[in-house]
Amino acid sequence: MSALLEVKGVSRFFGGLAALTDVDFHVDKGEVLGLIGPNGAGKTTMFNVVNGFYAPSRGEIRFKGERISGLKPHQVCGRGLARTFQVVKPLQRMTTLDNVVCSAFLRHPGRAEAVAHAEEILRFTNLWDVRDTVSKRLPLGLRKRLEIARALATNPDLLLLDEACAGLNPSELEESIGIIRRIKERGTTIMIIEHHMKVIMSISDRIVVLTYGQKLAEGSPAQISANPEVIKAYLGEGDD
Amino acid sequence: MNPAKIEVLLQTLISGLLLGGLYALIGLGMTIIMGVMKIINLAHGELMMVGMYIAYVLFAWLHLDPYLSILVAAPLLFLLGAIIQKYLVNPVLKVDAILPENQVILTVGIGMVLANLATMIFKSDYRTAPVDYATKAWYLSDIWKGSPIELSLSYPWSVSFLFAVVITAGLWFFLSRTDMGKSIRATAQDKDAALLMGVNVERMRMFTFGLGSALVGAAGCLFLPIYYLYPDVGGQFTLTGFVITILGGLGSTFGAIIGGLVLGVFESLTATYVGMGWAPVGRFVVFVLVLVFVPGGVASLLRRRRFGK
Amino acid sequence: MRAPVANPGRGRPLAVLAALAALPLIALVPGVNANYWMHNFILVVMWSIIGMSWNLLSGYCGQVSFGHAAFFGIGAYTAGLLYAKLGLSAWWGMLASVPVVGAAALLVGFICLRLRGPFFALSTIAIGVILRIVAENLVGFTGGDQGIMIRERTWVEKTWYFYIILAVAAATFWFVDRLVASRLGYYFVAIREDQDAAESLGIDTTRYKTIALVLSAVICGLAGAFYTSYMGYIDPKVVFALHDVSVMAIMVVMVGGVATRWGPAIGAVIMILLAEIIRTIPKVGTAHHTLFGVLLIVVIIFLPNGVVGDAGALRRLLRIRRPS
């Protein structure tokens, strides 16, 4: 069986700079793949390439066996691949519910169905209590979770989470980890960028390590934390 | 091609380049404001109109040569620009509004007020400054008796062009060699980094808006000997400035110079070969072509070559 | 049902419509120049249509247009040319303007919607100016600066003109209301709030921006086509005017309230009333652009959401002022 997402020899240049060089990896259906690496390693660029904001300069990306590199973000999303943003991008003047309704429309063109679906997502992500709050007034922790809820409302097969847990306090962190676990239990495949080592080690099935835009290592959390190169390049810098 | 046709073509190219040099100055002022503040100043042409009227009044009352009045108009426009930035644009940047384009709409309002005030003071009559060298020109046959074609170089156009070149060179020196100029460019590239490095961004913005206004004010003085003046003259120059900015690549000073020259030549060609009334259309045809085929403007073409891609 | 995504405001549309429909009764009031008032009512209703049109594209979808004169003018010239070239009644223009303006808007969208934010706004100015210059120069087709004169007036009385434009306004209001509460409306606002987020939520931003532009343009074109029949004369400087059409459209909505249900209508009342008052005061008349400009500046700085959007702030302001 082929993988859900295949990244094959992907490079991305900006001007003369290589943000990604010849990166290969895949994501299997049903797993949680952690993407880690020091700042500037190209993790978010990788997401932007997968999601269609940038076309890869070289290489290709296949999703469910179909080539998606070169498609626009909305087309990628339509094929079942949704993402969150590291720097949250709520639809500021819309309420929490309306934010989610916007993305629910993708699978439910009628308004009543879209609202019903969005409400279900809000309950699932514990955002029900703030459903009528205008999203720019939400605290950061909830805005991060709204990112997840919004992506989830497009019924993705693969969900890309870009530092969805950064900047959260311990109780918010617990809650977000719980939500990510439940998303996985629902059968949604997840690729996650995270700086929190504890989070990534506890929820990932496999981990890919990027440094300077190249893949340094790939393996189970246990293998990665024992890999001397990874320790030198990344963990050695001190765990935050 | 027979000599007569070549003559027309060369003459057209010459006037186009002269016009383009002046356009570049207008575009530069707008580009600098856009680069540093990410602000589009739609009152730009109206500021130029103010500069023209200052030069006109000085000429009519004191018989001051329009080229000398740059020394008065540029500082006054600098002041006007800085005041507009501090008391009108800045407060709007802090207001939370649904449309971030509020700032652009604001400058439209400012332009309307300036043009209307000019109408009230000077009436909507067309005016010119009848300088005594207005119709003077150099002819090719004066230098080269046996020339098969005849070309002329208008005196006021050439002088205005030279002034534009000198001002542009001065601006170049200022931006690349002085501390103030370097801070301006730093603010243009990364506001937050500039803040961290101790650049007073608020002051820098006031200064930049002033500088952009002074440049276009000077351009106004240069246009006075060769153009007619009326209160609504600014609108077309606002659009010209904007087209040049897009053409040059947003915020690129070098691009603005090239953009100005390209536009000047193109307009001149349109006027000669399609008809006078169509020259402004030529301007926008360039604009549309650039939008469709070279979205990054001249600057993106240069960059592409530099990286060999 | 819950309040839709955009600020719905209050007010009962049918009650307002009924009250407006009774306005021609002003003719029964002795001592009032009914014709004069009907003219102003017609202008207010026409401008509220243009305002609703601008509000749809710029207020809800966030694509600020400085070039609505282009669509107004194409609508007006469609009507005018049907009359001048084909000898048809200019009223057919209201029908014909829909495909003509729609096609023009598609073309404008193809060019201008490549640009984002303020750059889109600026490119639309260019479109308006290009069309004016083209109309001035294609003398054989448009009559150039001479404009087009409709020699036969349909009615001497203004009552029917009023009801026609009121019907268009009511239909526009109903249409925009429905649209804003639908999927399209949500998408428009999502694009306004964050285009990248919208795109990654599966919204084809180019497509929906184009839809907003075409709908907005067609509505504005209808107002233009009506203008030709009503005024009986058009020329390029009037119908493609930057300040008196494009900027006026912006002012109507900015003053009334961006992305509000009643903002365009209230803005139209205020602006037309103001224009009339300014016009009738001797000596001040020539300064009307100054006063409009100052009003625009004041509104942007102090009432960025317009009279409707900042109603709360306005009320508070007045309450504080009253005792002093």
Band of residue A72 on the pLDDT scale cut at 50, 70, 90: very high
Instruction: Look at residue B226 in the predicted model and tell me its pLDDT.
Output: 86
Nearest CA in chain B to A17: B307
User: Considering the domain boundaries, does residue C5 fall inside one?
Assistant: no
The pLDDT value recorded for residue A104 is: 94
Q: Are A105 and C200 within 8 A, CB to CB? A: no
More confident residue, B103 or A240: B103
Task: Tell me whether residue B250 is in a domain.
Answer: no
For C236-266, how does the pLDDT look when each residue is reduced to its tens digit (9 = 90+)? Answer: 999 999 888 999 999 999 999 999 999 999 9
Confidence of residue A39 (pLDDT cuts 50, 70, 90): confident
The answer to whether residue C3 scores a pLDDT higher than 50 is: no
Residues of B with CB below 8 A from A15's CB?
303, 307
Q: Tell me, what's the pLDDT at B179?
A: 85
Nearest CA in chain B to A93: B98
Closest Cβ–Cβ partner in B103, B104, B284 for C126: B284
Please judge whether C293 and B109 are an interchain contact, meaning their C-beta atoms are less than 8 angstroms apart.
yes
Phi-psi region of A155 (alpha: psi -120 to 50; beta: other; left: phi over 0): left
Task: Please report whether residue C3 resides in a domain.
Answer: no
Q: 10 Å Cβ neighbour count for C301?
A: 17
Residues of A in contact with B98 (CB under 8 A): 93
CB contact under 8 A, C199 and A74: yes
Question: CA nearest C223: which of C201, C207, C239?
Answer: C239
Q: How much is the pLDDT for A47?
A: 92
Residue B244 lies in a domain: no
pLDDT digits (tens, 9 = 90+) for A198-236: 888 889 999 999 988 899 989 999 898 888 888 877 655
Asked if residue C46 lies in contact with residue C216, where contact means CB atoms within 8 angstroms, the answer is no
Judge whether B260 and B245 are in contact, CB under 8 Å: no
Q: Compute chain C's Rg from CA coordinates.
A: 20
Q: Do B106 and C296 touch (CB under 8 A)?
A: yes
The predicted structure's pLDDT at residue C56:
96
| Nearest-by-Cβ selection for A102 from C196, C201, C205 | C201
> Looking at the predicted structure, is the pLDDT value of residue C69 above 90?
yes
Closest CA to B31 of B17, B50, B18, B44: B44
The answer to whether residue C109 sits within a structural domain is: yes
What is the β-pairing status of strands A206-211 and A214-219?
antiparallel
Q: Do C247 and B275 touch (CB under 8 A)?
A: no
Segment A38-51 shows an average pLDDT of: 89
State whether C200 and A73 contact (CB < 8 Å): yes
State the smallest CA–CA distance between residue C294 and chain B in angstroms: 7
Residue B100 lies in a domain: yes
Please indicate, yes or no, if residue C243 is contained in any of the structural domains.
yes
User: Does residue B272 fall inside a structural domain?
Assistant: no
Position B169 pLDDT exceeds 80: yes
What is the distance in angstroms between the Cα of A74 and the nearest Cα belonging to chain C? 4
Statement: residue B49 has pLDDT above 90: yes
Residue percentage of chain C with pLDDT more than 90: 56
Q: Do A16 and B303 make contact, defined as CB atoms within 8 angstroms?
A: no
- Assess if residue B257 is contained within a domain: no
Q: Does C3 touch chain A (CB under 8 A)?
A: no
Helix (H) or strand (E) run with residue C194 in it = none
pLDDT average, residue stretch B281-298: 75
Q: Is residue B303 part of a domain?
A: no
The nearest CA of chain C is from the CA of B121 a distance in Å of 11
Task: Judge whether B97 lies within some domain.
Answer: yes
DSSP secondary structure of C262-283: SHHHHHHHHHHHHHHHHHHSTT
**Mean pLDDT: which of A109-123, B94-108, B177-191 is highest?**
A109-123
Rounded to the nearest integer, the mean pLDDT of chain C is: 88
Please, which residues have CB within 8 angstroms of residue C144's CB and are 6 or more apart in sequence?
C135, C136, C137, C138, C236
Q: What is the mean pLDDT of residues A110-127?
A: 94
pLDDT confidence of residue A102: 94
pLDDT value at residue C7: 44
Note whether residue B256 is domain-resident. Answer: no
Asked if residue C2 is part of any domain, the answer here is no
**pLDDT above 50 for A97:** yes
From B309, which residue of chain A is nearest by alpha-carbon distance?
Answer: A15
pLDDT at B283: 79
Q: Is residue B303 very low, low, confident or very high in pLDDT (cuts 50, 70, 90)?
A: low
Percent pLDDT > 70 in chain C is 94
| Cross-strand bridge partners of residue A35 | A193, A208
Within-domain flag for C7 = no
**Model confidence over A160-176: pLDDT tens digits?**
999 888 888 888 888 98
Higher pLDDT, B249 or C224: C224
Indicate whether C6 belongs to any domain. Answer: no
Residue-wise pLDDT for C279-322, tens only, equals 888 777 778 888 889 999 999 988 888 888 888 777 777 776 55
Q: What is the rounded CA–CA span in Å between residue C250 and residue C53?
A: 10
Mean model confidence pLDDT for chain B? 84
Domain that holds residue B7: 3-233
For A75, what's the count of Cα atoms within 13 Å in the CB-facing half-sphere? 12
| Residue pLDDT, tens place only, C110-122 | 888 888 877 788 8
Which residues of chain B neighbour A93 with C-beta distances below 8 Å?
Answer: 98
pLDDT at residue A114, rounded to an integer: 94
Strand A32-36 to strand A189-193: parallel, antiparallel, or no bridges (unpaired)?
Answer: parallel
Rounded Cα distance between A111 and A116, Å, is 9
Which region, left, alpha or beta, applies to residue A42 given φ > 0 means left and ψ of -120 to 50 means alpha? left
Number of domains in chain B: 1
- Round to whole Å and give the CA distance between C167 and C145: 32
The dihedral over CA atoms of B97, B99, B101, B102, expressed in degrees to the nearest 10, equals -40
> How close is the nearest chain B Cα to the Cα of C246, in Å?
11
Measure CB to CB from residue A93 to each of B98, B303, B307 and give the nearest one: B98
Question: Per-residue pLDDT tens for C160-211?
Answer: 999 999 999 999 999 999 999 999 999 999 999 999 999 999 999 999 999 9
Q: Which residue is closest to C204 within chain A, CA to CA?
A: A74
ipTM of the complex: 0.90
Confidence of residue B182 (pLDDT cuts 50, 70, 90): confident
Give backbone dihedrals phi and psi of A25, rounded to 5 degrees, phi first. Answer: -170, 175
pLDDT in tens, C150-160: 888 888 888 89
Contact C199 A92 (CB under 8 A): no
What total of structural domains would you count in chain C? 1
Closest CB to C300 among B102, B275, B281: B102
Structure confidence at residue C142 (pLDDT): 86
- Contacting residues of C for A74, CB less than 8 Å apart: 199-205
pLDDT of residue B300: 66
Q: How high is the pLDDT of residue C231?
A: 93
Task: Read off the pTM.
Answer: 0.89
Count how many Cα atoms sit within 13 Å of the Cα of residue B216 in the half-sphere of its side chain. Answer: 32
b/e map C144-160, b = 16+ CB within 10 Å? eeebbebeeeeeeebee
- Residue pLDDT, tens place only, B239-276: 888 888 888 876 678 888 888 998 999 888 888 888 77
CATH code, C247: 1.10.3470
Q: Is B175 exposed, middle or buried (0-12, 13-18, 19+ CB in 10 A)?
A: middle
Cβ separation of C181 and A93 shorter than 8 Å? no
Predicted local distance difference test score (pLDDT) of residue B298: 67
Amino acid C74: pLDDT: 96
According to the 3-state scheme, what is the secondary structure of B243-279?
HHHHHHCCCCHHHHHHHHHHHHHHHHHHHHHCCHHHH
Burial class (CB in 10 A: 0-12, 13-18, 19+), A224: buried
State the residue range of the domain holding C306.
13-321
Residues A10-38 pLDDT 10s = 999 887 788 899 999 999 999 999 999 88
Higher pLDDT, residue B28 or B183: B28
What sign does the dihedral B254-B258-B264-B267 (CA atoms) show? negative
Give residues 252 to 291 of C whose Cβ lies within 8 Å of B: 254, 258-259, 286-290
Is B303 in CB contact (< 8 Å) with chain A?
yes
Q: Give the domains, in start order, of chain A with CATH numbers.
A: 5-90+157-237 (3.40.50.300)
In angstroms, the CA C45 to CA C264 distance is 10
If you average pLDDT over residues B156-160, what whole number do you get?
87
Q: Which position has the token pair 């609505």?
A: C68
